[in-house]
Structure formats: C-alpha cells, structure tokens
Structure 1
Amino acid sequence: MAMTTTSVHVSETDARRIAVAAFVGTALEWYDYFLFGTAAALVFNRLYFTTLDPTAALLAAFATFGVGFVARPVGAVIFGAVGDRIGRRPALIMTVTMIGIATGLIGLLPAYASIGIAAPIALAVLRLLQGFAVGGEWGGAVTMAVEHAPIDCRGRFAALPQIGSPVGTLLSSGAIALVLLLPAESFDSWGWRLPFLAAFPLLLVALWMRARMEESPVFLELAAREEQLPKVPALLVFRRSPMRLLAGVAASLLGVAGFYVMTTFMVGYGTTTLGLPREWLVNATLVAALFQIVALLICGRLTERFGAGRMSVIGGIVTAVVAFPVFWLVDSGDPVLIAVAISIGTMAMDIVYAAAGTLLSELFPPEQRYSGVALSFNLAGAIGGFVPFIATALLGVSGNGSWIVALLLVAISLITAVGGLFGGRWRVVDDVVSRARVQS
C-alpha cells in the first residue's frame, strides 16, 4: 500500500518525552506480567496445584504461566487493529487498564484449599487476560517511541521502552524479595498477595502517564487519508508481509524465550532441582536487572551506529557463546557466581533486545506497523512463553543435566541471529519521519 505524505514536525525533545512516557507505562505493565512468572516458580505450584508431586506441580505452574503467551497473538491482532485504525494512544490506554485489573485480581484469588479446582482455573483465566493485554502493549509502546523520533535517533528512543523490562523485573523481584522476609506461613497465606495488590495503585500512575501522551504524528498523517487505513491490519500483514513477519518472529525469539530461561526457569531450576535457597535466585535476577538497564542504554546507542539487523546478529552469536558457561556457573551453587551468570546471560540478550524495537518497526510500513510489530513480538512470545515448561521437561530427559537447556538456548540464539540478518536487509524508512528529521 503506497503512501503519499506531507511533512510533519518531529523534534528530539518531543521524542524524548514520549519515549519516557512509553517507558513508564511499559515498566508498570511488565511489573505485573513478570510478577506472575516469579510467583509461578515460588508460590502457585504449592498453593494452586497441591494435588500434584513437586515436579508435576512446577510443570503445571509453568504451563499456566505459558497460557498467557498463547493469548498474546490474539491481543496483538485486536489491539493492532485499534492502533492501526483508531490510534496508537487509545490502544495503549486500553492495554494498561486491562493488565492492571487482571493482576490486582490475582492478589484476591483464593487458593486451592479454599475453593478447590476453581482456583487454578481462575488463575489461568486471569493469566489469559494478562497475556491478551500485553499482546498489544509492547508493540504500541515501541511504535509510539519510533514514530515520534527523528530517524537518526531511533535506536536510543526505541530502547527506552525496552528498559521497562528490567525495571519491571526489578520492581517485581524486589517486591517478592521483600515479602520473602516474612515468616514462611505468613508469606504463603497473605504475603505473596501484596505485590499483586500493588497493581491497583500502579495502574493509576500508568493511566496518568498514558493520558499525557500525544498521538503519533505518523498515524495522524495516515488518518488524514482515511482510505489508507486498512480494515483488518493483521490480514494485511499476513497477505503482504509474510516473510517480514517471519523474520520479525525469529528476531524477537531470543528476547522473549531467552529472557525467561534466565529468570523464570532459573528460579524454578535453582530451587527445585539444585535445592538452593529461593532468595539467592530472586536476588540474582535483581542484580541482573540493574546491569540490564545500563546494557540497554548502551546498546540502543550502538544500534544507531551499526544498525538494528547487525546488532541482532551479534547478540544472537554472543548469547550462543555464553550459554554453556552461564549454566556451569549456576550449577556451582555459589550465590555470587549465580548472580554473575544470570547477569552475563541477560546482558548478552540485551544486545538483541535493545535493537528489537528499531528492527521490528522498520520491517513494516506505517499502515500495518502496530499490527506487524505486535504480531512479530507476540508470536515469538507464544513460543517463548512455554520455554520454561519445555526446559523443565527436558531436564527429566537429561537426568537433570543443565547441558540440554544450554543447548536449547544456543538454538534459540542462532534462530534470532538469522532473523536479524534478514530483518536488517528488509528495512523500510518512513518518508514522513525522514522529512521530519530535516525540519527538527
């Protein structure tokens, strides 16, 4: 679908303000979403799947965790349609509202001992709602940041929403670490619920930030020519950009699947298989999140210099190289080495993750961008969300040998490198943004 545009003004100051607003909302959403992953490894397996043996209960909890990722592509289609036809801003307000309410309700959900089978069923339903909302969140935040940015500054501004991921991890892991200080009985009965209930006041903050965001100038340019707005954006992506979508999914896989290997899986692996104190694993994710913030800022700048496609290739290869050493360090059982391992693993993936927003947004033209970016990331998420489950199952095959999970991580890394290679070659540049850069 060809575009005929007039120029619009985009300044670096405006771009920074919008990117920060996108980051704040995304950080609060990822807090809600990641909180479930940590609780799945520490709480849900014991309180909501009590009739199963420990390994089966952990598998069931991770399966419930993965259910949210199945809903994400559906959310990508629905909110992608809102974002590509009605506006980026309304879609982002809807997503943050839905995930905040779903997360808060988890904190009010009775355990299996109180309501029986209804407890895990309700837990799965709320997880589905979380996933449905997140399906439209990340793609919208990245699209807004990129479409407000001068073309030569996209890397740094597209990386800002990415920082919402480690900040969300930091907030959720920190909240869990605090309530873990409670006596075990208090933690199991009511302490673990407090971080989920905090989603309600955090939702108010997110809504305030999102309400202050201005609509994307690129979307306003499209909306001025209503005939250019696709009726079903997702169908347009599948029909006109299938190879771009495939490249986007591959390039996004490590940022989702690999991250959950380093966090959700590692917490469950360390506590259940290695018998380590759960505080060690949670604290290690906190340390890694701090390093992630720095790594994302640096890699966002490097993306502007070397290109998003090349950075994705480099990140995939680096992660493949460090995969086995990371697991060797975790298997040592030393808390310091565990923190070092998870930090190294996540920072290697950050090379890819920092470039993902720029790479995906430049894979698709503006009229299908929200849907294309959201579908790419969330189809990868639908696969990656079950990686903790798959990795845990593979441990049984290998006799609890971590080498098989390291091998899985290598495979995921190389797939992402290939996706980045093709994604970089198929770059699309908006006329409207390039002209705006000259004016700003």
Structure 2
Amino acid sequence: MPEATAAEPATKPDRSAEIRRIALATYFGTALEWYDYFIYGTAAALVFPALFFPALDPVIGVIASLVTFALGFVARPVGAVIFGHIGDRLGRRAALIGTVTLMGVATGLIGLLPSYQTIGIAAPIILAVLRLLQGISAGGEWTGAALLAIEHAPPEQRGRYAAVPQLGSPTATLVSSGVFAVLTLLPEEMFQSWVWRVPFLAAFVLLAIALYLRVKVEESPLFRAALAEQKEEKLPVLETIRTAWGRLIIGGAAYLAGTAAFFVLTTFMIGYISKSLKLSSTLALNATLVGAVVEILVIIVAGRLADRIGAAKVCVIGATISVLVAFPVFWLVDTKVPVLVVAGVSLGIGAISIPYGPIGVALSVMFPARLRYSGVALSVGLANILAGFGPLAGTWALGATGGQSWGPALLLALIAFITLVGSAGAHRVSRRAPEWDAV
C-alpha cells in the first residue's frame, strides 16, 4: 500500500496525457469515418440521380438515390451485431480498426464505380452494395469510439470526453460539405463527369491515416477488467437482447434525433433548398457548413453541462428545445432570404446537437461493461433503422402536403419528441442502474 500511494502522484500526469491522446485519436478516427459516410449523402442529393438512375423520371430518380442512402442505415443494425460481438469479445480497439477499414475501402470503391451509361444496371446495384458495406461499418464505429473515450475518462469528466468523438460528425460535415461546395463551383459538366469522384477517392488516403491513429490506441481499462474477471459473454449480442431489450428500445429512442433529425436537416434540406425552393446548391451546402460550426460549439457546451447536471437531463433539455424549434426552422428557410436560410438550418442543427453531445454517457450507463458495446451499438442500430429513411420521409411529407413545409417540419418535431421520451426513460434507468464501472 505505501508503494502504491507513493507512486500515485507520479502516474497521474501520465494518465491524463494518455486520456487526451486517446480522446484525440477517437476524434480524428470518427471524423474520417463520418467524412466517408457523409459525402455519400451529399452526392445522393446532387449527383447520383443523374449518374446511376438516368432512366427514371427525375423525381423518381431522386427518390431512388435516397433509397440507396437509406440502405446504409438499414445495414447499421447488422454492423451493430457484428462489431458489438467483436467489441465485447475481442475489445473496443479491434472493433474500431475493423470499422474504419471497411468504411475506407467501400467509400474509395464508390469513387471508382462506372456510371449507368457505362455498365448499365450493374452500376446502381454495386452502388447499393457499397452503401450497405458503409452502413455495416458505421453500425459499429460510433459506439466503439464513444466507449473508448468514456471508459478511459475520469468519472467526473465523462460528459466532456463523451463529447469528443461527437465532434467528429460536424467536422466531417464541414470537410465533406466544404469539399463539395468548392467542387460545385467548377463547370457543371466537369463536376458531373469526374470531379465528384475526388472526395470518394480521398478515402483511401484517409484510411491510411485512420489506421495509423487507431493502431496506437490503448484498450479500454474496463474491458480489460472484464476479461481479467472472466465476465465476458460468449454471445454478448444475444445476452443483451435477452436481458435488456427494454433498455435497447429506450436507448434507440433517445438517440433518434441525433441521426434521423440530423439527416432531415442536412441531406433532405439540401435537396429542399436547391430543388423545391429553387435556390443555389451552394447556399444549401454553406448552410450546412455554418450549422456544423454551431454543432461543434453546442456539443462542447453540452458535454461540459452533462458533467454538472447529468447526461440524460441534458438530453431531455435538448430534445425539448428541438421540438419547439422544428417549425421555426422551416419558417426561416422558406423566406428564401440567404441569411435567414442559413439561420434556420443552424438553429435546427444546433438544437439537436444538445442531446447528441452527451448521448454516449446516457446510453452507456444503462449497460455493464461486458455488454456495453453490444447494448449501445444495438440501441443506435434501432434508431438508424428509422433514421435512414429520414430524407425519404421528408420528401414524402413534402409531397403529401402539396409542397408545404409544415409536413417535414411536423416530421422533425415528431423525431425530436421520440428522443424526448427516450431521454426521459434513460434518465429513469440511470437513477436505478448499478455502479457504472461494474464489469
């Protein structure tokens, strides 16, 4: 005991440095992963209808393109099962190396894919398969990054460290939207011909960077403790479903706005602004860029607030605000005044970023370490089954209301309300959950 006490002060600075390094690695890795995922959404709205579905009516072509976008979300529960098993059996680090490799290869191959005019029906089929692989990767990515950061963090700072991998999403939005905003300034024929491929081909370079970062990451101490006590499950996914199916539903509801509402406010909104309102696609992309900056600031504040009042409480507050601003978001966009359009998109993204910031802690507290990767990944996977159809549902709602924006606004409010209910449930569960560090 005296030796441990004497050594303790000397090890604390090294531990803090290690935690910061791990948090930084999860941030960069998640940013690179979501960059790959987001450029597909932007291309689905701007490029893919003409290149891969030219035989269809233009409106149907857009819908078909968004269906392939949705496939990535349908596949995410599959990724949750696969990487949830890997994460709870082999470790968080092993799962994260697998997710980023799969994402980088699938995204790079999209950049090499010939168009419909070159290889016919094979083009959209291969596109759909590659999107499915992206979805499988994304199904395990965020969970591993969030858990690695949270499980390494001191208990009193889990909220702020949980927010670090969340920053990867707006960073990816900034980079992906920024790249497309610059590329769309080039001649339309050049952009449609080959320039759109550049962001996808860059995924091969980003993959090398991501692998370098993740190989150096240390394994979660809580996972190591579970292995040491031989408390790992042979089939963690099935055990989680058997013992915690109610918590999975609560977790999925709590996470919904962070993904479904986000893509309504980005992928759907880009199409709505550029096609329905007849404004420039550059304005639509710039609005998402400003929204991403707002998201970064809000996530940082929300993470720190979670350390003070609790993660689930912050999620409840954020979901409530998101419900209240759903209609004002579209009122601002419908003015067609560029500054107000940007303000509307930023308001919506900022509101849903409040619960998104600390959601990792809110979900992880509901599951013991030996089942935590599976539990959180499956919760997110449940949310993503619905989330992938967010842009498509927004398009349907717009058509069902005769082009009136109150349809997608109502959809946005409904998504936020579901997250409000789920966050309230997560708060109740966390109050009676066992010790968070229990393996």
Q: Is this a same-fold pair by TM over 0.5?
A: yes
* Residue in structure 2 matching 1:360, options 360, 363, 370: 363
The corresponding residue for 1:219 is 223
The corresponding residue for 1:402 is 405
Q: In the alignment, does 2:308 pair up with 1:300?
A: no
Q: Normalised by the size of structure 2, how large is the TM-score?
A: 0.95
| Deviation at residue 430 of structure 1 after TM alignment | 4.5
The corresponding residue for 2:5 is none
Paired residues of 1:89 and 1:210 also in contact (CA < 8 A): yes
- Relative to structure 1, the CA distance from residue 269 to residue 115 in structure 2 (aligned partners, 3 Å threshold; closer, same or farther) is same
Q: In the alignment, does 2:258 pair up with 1:255?
A: yes
Q: In the alignment, does 2:193 pair up with 1:189?
A: yes
* Residue in structure 2 matching 1:163, options 153, 160, 167: 167
The corresponding residue for 1:311 is 314
Cα offsets for 1:253-290 (capped at 9, x unmatched): 00000000110000111122111111110111111111
* Residue in structure 2 matching 1:106, options 106, 110, 118: 110
SS in 2 for 1:198: helix
- The CA distance in 2 between the partners of 1:150 and 1:276, in whole Å, is 48
Paired residues of 2:329 and 2:344 also in contact (CA < 8 A): yes
The corresponding residue for 1:175 is 179
- The CA distance in 2 between the partners of 1:22 and 1:314, in whole Å, is 26
Count of paired positions:
426
Q: Normalised by the size of structure 1, how large is the TM-score?
A: 0.95
| Deviation at residue 431 of structure 1 after TM alignment | 6.0
| Deviation at residue 225 of structure 1 after TM alignment | 2.5
Cα offsets for 1:140-181 (capped at 9, x unmatched): 001101110111100000000000000011111011112112
Amino acid at match of 1:368: L
| Deviation at residue 429 of structure 1 after TM alignment | 5.7
- The CA distance in 1 between the partners of 2:396 and 2:59, in whole Å, is 9
The corresponding residue for 2:84 is 80
| Deviation at residue 64 of structure 1 after TM alignment | 0.4
Name whichever of 292-301 and 423-432 sits farther off.
423-432
| Deviation at residue 16 of structure 1 after TM alignment | 2.1
The corresponding residue for 1:351 is 354
SS in 1 for 2:167: helix
Q: In the alignment, does 2:13 pair up with 1:15?
A: no
Paired residues of 2:369 and 2:437 also in contact (CA < 8 A): no
Paired residues of 2:397 and 2:411 also in contact (CA < 8 A): no
Cα offsets for 1:287-336 (capped at 9, x unmatched): 11111111111110011111111111111110111111100111111221
* Residue in structure 2 matching 1:269, options 264, 267, 272: 272
The corresponding residue for 2:126 is 122
Amino acid at match of 1:108: L
Higher relative contact order, structure no. (Cα contacts within 8 Å, ≥ 6 residues apart)? 1
- Aligned-residue sequence identity (percent) comes to 53
SS in 2 for 1:381: helix
| Deviation at residue 14 of structure 1 after TM alignment | 2.6
- The CA distance in 2 between the partners of 1:377 and 1:199, in whole Å, is 24
Amino acid at match of 2:170: P
Cα offsets for 1:52-96 (capped at 9, x unmatched): 122111111111000011110011001110000011101100100
* Residue in structure 1 matching 2:292, options 289, 293, 314: 289
Paired residues of 1:142 and 1:361 also in contact (CA < 8 A): no
| Deviation at residue 432 of structure 1 after TM alignment | 4.3
- The CA distance in 1 between the partners of 2:349 and 2:155, in whole Å, is 28
Please, which runs of 5 or more residues in structure 2 have no aligned partner? 1-7
The corresponding residue for 1:389 is 392
Amino acid at match of 2:247: R
SS in 1 for 2:357: helix
Amino acid at match of 2:363: L
SS in 2 for 1:364: coil
| Deviation at residue 15 of structure 1 after TM alignment | 2.2
The corresponding residue for 2:422 is 419
Pairing 1:21-170 to 2, within 5 Å after superposition: 21-170=25-174
Amino acid at match of 2:350: M
- The CA distance in 2 between the partners of 1:379 and 1:47, in whole Å, is 31
SS in 1 for 2:194: helix
- The CA distance in 2 between the partners of 1:327 and 1:270, in whole Å, is 10
What RMSD in Å do the two structures reach over aligned CA positions?
1.5
SS in 1 for 2:403: coil
Paired residues of 2:368 and 2:436 also in contact (CA < 8 A): no
Cα offsets for 1:178-206 (capped at 9, x unmatched): 21121000000001000000001011110
| Deviation at residue 12 of structure 1 after TM alignment | 3.7
